[in-house]
Each structure stands twice: as C-alpha cells, then as structure tokens.
C-alpha cells in the first residue's frame, strides 16, 4: 500500500525543500564553487599579468632588430607560450561547463531520485510534485546562470585585453573563442540543465540519463553552430578580377559576379590566383568576386539571437518536464469492476 501523494504544501515547505536540496547535493555545490572560483582566478590571471607579459614579449620581438634575423634574440618566449597554454585550457574548461551541467542534471538531479524511488517518497512528505521539480530546476538555474555568466564575461575580458597586442591571439570568430566569450554558452548550460532533468524523469536511470544528456548538449551545440550564421543578415564585400574581397569574420558564402551584376555562388576558383582559375573565370564571364560574412559588429547580435532560441527551447523542455510530473502523479484511477458470483468474496 502506497501513501497518497501530497496535493498541497504549506508555504514553509518550499524553503525547507530548498535547504534540503542544497544539503542533498552539497558535493556538487562544492565542486561547482571550486570550478567557478578556480576558473575565474585563472581568467583574471590571464586578463592581467599573462596578457601584459605576452604583449611585452611580442612588442620586443616585433621591434628589436636582433629578432628579425636568424640569430636568437632575448625576447621572453616563455611568456608567450604561457599565455597561449592558459588561454587554451581555460577556454576548453568554459566550453565544458554545459556538458558538466547536463550530465549532473540527468544523473543526480532527477535520474537518481527516480531510480531509487526517493522522488515519490518526497511527494508524500508535504511537498507537491510540481514544487519539488520547481525547486530542482529553479535553484540550480540561478547558480548555473550566475557561475557560467561570470566565466564567459571574464573570458571575453581576457580575450579583449590581448586583442591587437598579442600576435598569436585567437581571432574572435575562432570556434572556441566565439562560444566561450558570450551568452550562448550560458543559454546552452541552461538548456542542458532542463534537458537533463527531463531525461532523468523519462528514463528513470541515472547512468543512461547522464549519457543522454551529454549527447543532447552535443546535438544542440551542433545545430546552433550550423544555423547561427544564417540567423542574422550578413555583410557583403566585392572586388574586381585582380583582387580577392578583403574581409575578417565568419564567412557564409562566396562566388563570382556576372556581367549583369548577379552574385553567383561557386565552390572553386573564387580568385584568379592560379592560371587555371583565371581561365575558368574567363569562361564563366566573371567580372569580380563577392563574399558574404559576419564582421565583428555582428558578434553581439549572433550571440543574442542564438541565446534567445536556446532559452525558448529551455522553456519548452521545462514545461515538458512539469507536464510529465503532473501526468504521472495525477493519472486516472483504475476503473472499478463489478464482481459477481462466488468470486466476489475473494
């Protein structure tokens, strides 16, 4: 015989549920704090002393005549390599945050409690299933937003400090740099949180939900990366046959210009750098070349549009999780059957 599910909860039950949630997931909370504080300290180190030392080394290398020849010169190469290593490791760590959040959400936040039956037990202890899920999504969402938002902001500051000062600094449109320094990563972490919680409720097995959550984040990231360049109007630059359009950013298309001014996309010979291409473009009757791309001015809009789509998807996943919990806890009662004959007394 199972205890009836609670249909209402006193106001004091919600703060108690939050405190219990933080106590239950104290190891994860401690690990999250260590991760955020450690990465923030590394990014601050990168933003200040490492960037200054690397920039000074590059300036010496570019201006010292002794460094322009084959003979070795006395510039600080270790500072440049140290900056490069710390930048690479911190960038990968920031990009790993959505996967870590999704894995924890699917495995520990809901999957383990559904697998062990503690979720249903909690629903009989003065907390409604909807408020139970709201606490499990709301509290981590606040912590994930604050922590991930701080990390991407510091990463963008660290990258901006080296822009134009360090010759080997990553371009803004580099795959890792672009995503690690903007709100898209924050939105992806929240989508991983909601998606992992939903998978944990659906599958009811922590390990399977963990794997599924990580794969879901990977699929979402791939879809966003493929669709993002087409979600905002591009800029177009053109050139004649003797030059190639100068641009710097995310290229979305390129091709030739016909005599009537039409822009025709082509996949090869978009310049006259080789004689074979020059002959081919003569047969195409090309008068110039064009490139569609996103300049640095589109950095913010691209991030905001992508983050808005991911947040909308996060809301859909959260609503689906609430509907699933509501359906499981307020399902139809089994229909009564009328027994007849001697078997009725059994």
Looking at residue 344, its pLDDT comes to 44
Query: Which tokens sit at 94?
Result: 């920031």
Q: Are residues 244 and 225 in the same domain?
A: no
| Block residue for tokens 């913010």 | 300
On whether residue 162 sits in a domain, the answer given is: yes
Q: Are residues 223 and 283 in the same domain?
A: no
Q: Are residues 98 and 186 in the same domain?
A: yes
Q: Are residues 143 and 278 in the same domain?
A: no
Distance CA 150, CA 157 (A): 11
On whether residue 336 sits in a domain, the answer given is: no
pLDDT per position in the chain (346 positions), as tens?
Answer: 444 454 454 555 567 777 877 888 899 999 999 999 999 999 999 999 999 999 998 888 888 777 776 667 777 889 999 999 999 999 999 999 999 999 999 998 888 888 787 777 777 766 788 888 888 899 999 999 999 999 999 999 999 999 989 988 999 999 999 999 999 999 999 999 999 999 999 998 889 999 999 999 999 999 999 999 999 999 999 999 888 899 899 999 999 999 999 999 998 888 888 889 999 999 999 999 999 999 999 999 999 999 999 999 999 999 999 999 888 777 544 444 444 444 444 3
Q: Are residues 213 and 140 in the same domain?
A: yes
Q: What is the dihedral of CA 144, 150, 156, 162, to 10 degrees?
A: -140
Domain span at residue 264 reads: 235-297
Distance CA 36, CA 94 (A): 9
Q: Are residues 99 and 44 in the same domain?
A: yes
Looking at residue 37, its pLDDT comes to 97
Phi/psi of residue 202, nearest 5 degrees: -75, -50
DSSP state of 297: G
Q: 238 pairs with which residues across the strands?
A: 290
On whether residue 5 sits in a domain, the answer given is: no
Q: CB under 8 Å to 257, separation ≥6 — which residues? A: 238, 263, 264, 286, 287, 288, 289, 290
Exposure string over 304-341, b if 16+ CB within 10 A, otherwise e: ebbbebbbebbeebbebbbeebeeebeeeeeeeeeeee
pTM of the model: 0.86
Q: Are residues 182 and 270 in the same domain?
A: no
Q: Are residues 273 and 168 in the same domain?
A: no
Distance CA 235, CA 222 (A): 24
On whether residue 79 sits in a domain, the answer given is: yes
Distance CA 329, CA 306 (A): 35
On whether residue 340 sits in a domain, the answer given is: no
Q: CB under 8 Å to 186, separation ≥6 — which residues? A: 144, 145, 148, 149, 152, 307
For 215-234, give the DSSP string. HHHHHHHHHHHHHGGGSSPP
Q: CB under 8 Å to 176, separation ≥6 — which residues? A: 91, 92, 95, 170
Looking at residue 132, its pLDDT comes to 83
Q: Are 172 and 303 in contact (CB under 8 A)?
A: no
Q: Are residues 47 and 172 in the same domain?
A: yes
Q: Are residues 46 and 195 in the same domain?
A: yes
Q: 263 pairs with which residues across the strands?
A: 257
Distance CA 118, CA 109 (A): 11
Distance CA 145, CA 151 (A): 10
Distance CA 225, CA 250 (A): 11
User: What's the structural domain count of the chain?
Assistant: 2
Q: Are 194 and 202 in contact (CB under 8 A)?
A: no
SS3 240: strand
For 121-177, give the DSSP string. HHTTTT--HHHHHHHHHHHHHHHHHHHHHHHHHHHHHHHHHHTTT-TTPPPTTSHHH
On whether residue 342 sits in a domain, the answer given is: no
Q: Are residues 136 and 274 in the same domain?
A: no
Q: Are residues 212 and 143 in the same domain?
A: yes
Distance CA 211, CA 199 (A): 10
For 40-63, give the DSSP string. HHHHHHIIIIIHHHHHHHHHHHHH
């Amino acid at each position: 015989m199972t205890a009836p599910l609670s249909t209402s909860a006193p106001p004091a039950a919600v703060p108690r549920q939050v405190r219990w949630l933080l106590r239950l997931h104290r190891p994860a909370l401690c690990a999250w704090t260590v991760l955020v504080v450690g990465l923030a300290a590394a990014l601050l180190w990168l933003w200040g002393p490492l960037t200054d030392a690397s920039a000074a080394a590059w300036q010496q290398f570019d201006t010292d005549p002794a460094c322009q020849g084959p003979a070795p010169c006395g510039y600080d190469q270790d500072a440049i390599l140290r900056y490069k290593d710390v930048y690479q490791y911190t960038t990968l760590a920031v990009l790993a945050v959505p996967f870590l959040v999704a894995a924890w959400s699917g495995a520990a936040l809901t999957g383990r409690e559904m697998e062990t039956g503690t979720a249903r037990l909690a629903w009989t202890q003065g907390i409604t299933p909807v408020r139970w899920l709201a606490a499990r999504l709301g509290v981590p969402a606040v912590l994930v937003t604050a922590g991930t938002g701080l990390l991407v902001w510091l990463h963008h500051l660290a990258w901006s400090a080296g822009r134009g000062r360090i010759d080997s600094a990553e371009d803004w449109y580099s795959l890792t740099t672009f995503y690690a320094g903007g709100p898209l990563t924050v939105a992806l972490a929240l989508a991983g949180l909601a998606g992992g919680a939903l998978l944990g409720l659906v599958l009811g097995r922590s390990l399977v939900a963990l794997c599924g959550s990580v794969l879901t984040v990977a699929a979402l990231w791939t879809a966003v990366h493929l669709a993002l360049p087409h979600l905002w109007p591009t800029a177009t630059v053109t050139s004649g046959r003797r030059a190639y359009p100068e641009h710097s950013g995310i290229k979305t298309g390129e091709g030739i210009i016909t005599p009537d001014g039409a822009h025709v996309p082509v996949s090869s010979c978009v310049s006259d750098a080789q004689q074979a291409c020059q002959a081919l473009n003569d047969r195409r009757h090309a008068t110039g070349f064009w490139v569609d791309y996103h300049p640095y001015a589109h950095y913010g809009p691209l991030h905001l549009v992508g983050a808005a789509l991911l947040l909308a998807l996060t809301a859909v996943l959260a609503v689906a999780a609430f509907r699933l919990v509501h359906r499981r806890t307020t399902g139809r009662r089994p229909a009564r059957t009328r027994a007849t004959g001697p078997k009725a007394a059994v």
